[in-house]
Amino acid sequence: MSTEKPILQSNYLDFLKERRLMGSKCKTCGQVDLPPRPICSKCLSPDVGWIDLTGQNGTLTTFSCVHVGTRKFEERGYSAKNPYAFGVVTLDNGPAITALLQGVDPKKPETIKIGMKLKLKFVETQTPAGPQVDVGFEPV
């Protein structure tokens, strides 16, 4: 897909299906937003373009282990007996994103550490509407 596509959530999700994590970067002040925004969150300039963040590592800023999730997560097999971990990951170049945490034990939250280094790991799930790709991170 061309990076000349308009900065829309639908195009962001299409990039995820291609295993690309794309944010927006302001051409006026350099602010990077993730998920991407058509208007800069810092200076409100509409002069923004795509930036590929696929290779970025990050740091765990906060997290939660979810035992009672949404129907979407119940359909994936998560439950009180099979919880999942969800967190905010701050990428090395600034933006933060909520993501599924992989490679950690949600049944032992004391083993998950704020500040731990993480790397991107896309999570693909089969849904009635077809495969869905979500942003995930796992320990480096």
Tokens of 75: 């359909």
Which of 94, 2, 93, 7 shows the shortest CA–CA distance to 45? Answer: 7
Name residues contacting Zn ion, limited to 42-101 (CB under 5 A): 42-43, 45
- CA geometry: angle 83, 89, 92, nearest 5 deg: 155
Minimum CB distance to Zn ion, residue 132 (Å): 31
Residue 13 or 43 with smaller CB distance to Zn ion: 43
Task: Say whether residue 32 binds Zn ion (CB under 5 A).
Answer: no
Minimum CB distance to Zn ion, residue 42 (Å): 5
Return the biggest CA–CA distance within the chain. 49
- Stretch of 14-22, 27-35, 81-89, 132-140 contacting Zn ion, by CB under 5 A: 27-35
Element (H, E) at 14: helix 9-17
Binding site for Zn ion (CB under 5 A): 26, 28-29, 31, 40, 42-43, 45
